């Protein structure tokens, strides 16, 4: 069939290359004329940059949409009007890969839980690949000739990836939590919730749906298993925080559903060190700990990071706008928060919420200025915590970029 791949970042390029390797006719499209497309062209993919005209859909049977492409993008809307199927990159990956999938979604904790599950599988000596929103595109695994026939795939799934699935059927599907996020993209909490719950819709009775204790009904016919942060575990997790014990409880339920024995689960919990940019201790300098929680891109995630520490905190908050209300975050800040430093385009919204809650703050503007201000106030035993509660696209290319810049700036404090 002829396929149009829209959006040529990591997952879009992987999708186009996987299709081309199967001999399919592929047109790859991106509005950015500076996109590096050398690998695509070498693989025989027809590349169109800076052009999203509807005529590109002529003869196309399927449009594969990258997660960063909105559902109401002109070319996507034109495809739907023509009756052309629209798939997410993970839908394509699920069709290309005949392997059992553990799917992990939720507002917060997806990456930690996905990587923890991968570690547990490895402790059990089970072949496993970790992919999806966590970093490696699912379709890229279709290009791996050494992928073991018995391998499982643990796949982190965002709402952007799930909104255009059709046949994706995780043998084990995990929903960690559901809180307001990405409302700028989905338009409403109901639409966001609907996208998340699509992870369950194709499950059969022999599959397992892992959900928080007391969560409402989910689609599909998978066997329901509930988890909670206070569940008994075969070992206590190495990673800190009550929220990470909840992530661990979800991972344990999923690992058991996949047939992994308690000894391997316990080893995974004891040894897994956590993921980059999530409560990552960067350094301790003059008795002050500097912690990178750049992956906290919404208020709920920031609250979890704040709750993980008993020590006095100096918070760095702010970033790009996602149309989120910061009122609850400000109202529930604990007394251990000793200073708050605002950066980025959401500084005004955060300031208004903090004013209403009676919390003092400084407007530092940039990450470098905020770190310097926090350092001047921090005492031995304190924690300077970058937990932005916002996306990163005002001053950085990604939350990873923001976290890496925080690391660099902290290392400069040693000199």
- Residue 303: the pLDDT is 95
Across the beta sheet with 337-343, the strand order is 280-285, 288-292, 383-386, 313-317, 337-343, 362-365
Contact criterion met (CB below 8 Å) for 218 and 209: yes
Report how far residue 173's alpha carbon sits from residue 123's, in angstroms, rounded to the nearest whole number: 21
Q: What are phi and psi of 174, to 5 degrees?
A: -120, 125
**Residue in this structure with the two tokens 């073991």, named with its chain if needed:** 148
User: Rounded to whole angstroms, how far apart are CA atoms 243 and 295?
Assistant: 14
Chain mean position to CA 307: 20
What is d(CA 366, CA 87) in angstroms, rounded to the nearest whole number? 39
Question: Given this model, what pLDDT does residue 183 score?
Answer: 67
280-285 and 288-292: which strand pairing?
Answer: antiparallel
Q: Which of 369, 359, 361, 374 is nearest to 395 (CA)?
A: 369
100: tokens are: 């059992």
**Tens digit of each residue's pLDDT, the chain (415 residues):** 899 999 999 999 999 999 999 999 999 999 888 889 999 999 999 999 998 889 999 999 999 999 989 988 999 999 999 999 999 999 999 999 999 999 999 999 999 999 999 999 999 999 999 999 877 999 999 998 889 999 999 999 999 999 999 999 999 999 999 987 776 777 788 999 999 999 999 999 999 999 999 999 999 999 999 999 999 999 999 998 888 999 999 999 999 999 999 999 999 999 999 988 999 999 999 999 999 999 999 999 999 999 999 999 999 999 998 888 999 999 999 999 999 999 999 999 999 999 999 999 999 999 999 999 999 999 999 999 999 999 999 999 999 999 999 999 999 998 7
pLDDT at res. 322: 86
Nearest to 30 by CA among 44, 2, 10: 10
Structure tokens, 359: 């919390």
| Planar angle of CA 322, 324, 325, nearest 5 degrees | 160
Q: Name the nearest CA neighbour of 82 among 59, 104, 102.
A: 59
213 class by beta-carbon count within 10 Å (0-12 exposed, 13-18 middle, 19+ buried): exposed
Distances (CA, A) of 136 to 76, 127, 132, 155: 24, 16, 6, 9
Residue 134: predicted pLDDT = 76
Rounded to the nearest 5 degrees, what angle is found at the Cα of 376, between the Cα atoms of 374 and 381?
Answer: 75
Task: Say how far apart CA 400 and CA 392 lie, in whole Å.
Answer: 9
What's residue 189's pLDDT? 87
Both tokens assigned to 400: 């990873």
| 368 contacts 402 by C-beta, under 8 angstroms | no
Domains and CATH numbers, the chain: 2-83 (3.40.50.720), 97-271 (3.40.1190.10), 280-412 (3.90.190.20)
- Phi and psi at residue 68, to the nearest 5°: -75, -5
Separation CA 202–CA 206 (nearest Å)? 11
Q: How many CA atoms lie less than 13 Å away from 130 in the CB half-sphere?
A: 16
Enzyme catalytic residues: 110, 133, 182
Best CA proximity match to 196, nearest among 179, 184, 213, 208? 179
Q: Are 94 and 165 in contact (CB under 8 A)?
A: yes
d(CA 259, CA 272): 20
Q: Which two tokens stand for residue 71?
A: 């559902």
Tokens 């059709």 -> residue: 166
Token pair in block for residue 84? 């052309």
Q: Where are the alpha helices (DSSP H) in 67-158?
A: 74-81, 89-96, 110-123
């Amino acid at each position: 069939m002829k396929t149009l791949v829209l959006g040529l970042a990591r997952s879009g390029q992987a999708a186009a290359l996987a299709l081309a390797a199967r001999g399919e006719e592929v047109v790859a499209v991106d509005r950015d004329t500076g996109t590096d497309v050398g690998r695509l062209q070498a693989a025989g993919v027809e590349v169109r940059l800076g052009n999203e005209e509807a005529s590109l859909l002529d003869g196309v049977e399927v449009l594969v949409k990258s997660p960063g492409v909105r559902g109401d993008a002109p070319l996507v809307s034109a495809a739907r009007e023509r009756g052309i199927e629209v798939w997410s990159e993970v839908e394509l990956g699920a069709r290309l890969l005949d392997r059992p999938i553990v799917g992990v979604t939720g507002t917060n904790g997806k990456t930690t839980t996905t990587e923890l599950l991968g570690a547990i599988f490895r402790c059990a000596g089970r072949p496993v690949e970790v992919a999806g929103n966590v970093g490696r595109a699912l379709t890229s695994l279709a290009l791996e000739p050494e992928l073991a026939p018995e391998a499982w795939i643990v796949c982190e799934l965002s709402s952007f990836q799930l909104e255009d699935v059709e046949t994706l059927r995780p043998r084990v599907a995990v929903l960690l939590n559901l809180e307001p996020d990405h409302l700028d993209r989905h338009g409403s909490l109901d639409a966001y919730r609907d996208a998340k719950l699509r992870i369950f819709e194709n499950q059969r009775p022999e599959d397992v749906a892992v959900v928080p204790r007391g969560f409402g009904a989910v689609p599909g016919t998978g066997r329901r298993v509930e988890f909670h942060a206070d569940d008994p575990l075969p070992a206590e997790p190495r990673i800190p925080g009550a929220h990470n014990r909840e992530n661990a409880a979800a991972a344990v339920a999923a690992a058991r559903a996949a047939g992994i024995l308690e000894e391997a689960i316990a080893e995974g919990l004891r040894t897994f060190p956590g993921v980059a940019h999530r409560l990552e201790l960067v350094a301790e300098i003059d008795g002050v700990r500097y912690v990178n929680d750049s992956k906290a891109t919404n208020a709920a995630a920031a609250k979890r990071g704040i709750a993980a520490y008993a020590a006095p905190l100096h918070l760095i908050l702010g970033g790009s706008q996602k149309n989120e209300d910061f009122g609850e975050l400000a109202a529930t800040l604990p007394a251990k928060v000793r200073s708050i430093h605002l950066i980025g385009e959401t500084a005004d919204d955060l300031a208004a919420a903090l004013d209403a809650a009676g919390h003092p703050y400084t407007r530092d503007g940039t990450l470098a200025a905020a770190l310097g201000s926090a350092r001047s106030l921090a005492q031995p035993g304190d924690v300077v915590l970058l937990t932005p509660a916002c996306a990163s696209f005002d001053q950085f290319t990604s939350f990873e970029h923001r976290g890496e810049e925080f690391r660099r700036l902290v290392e400069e404090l040693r000199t």
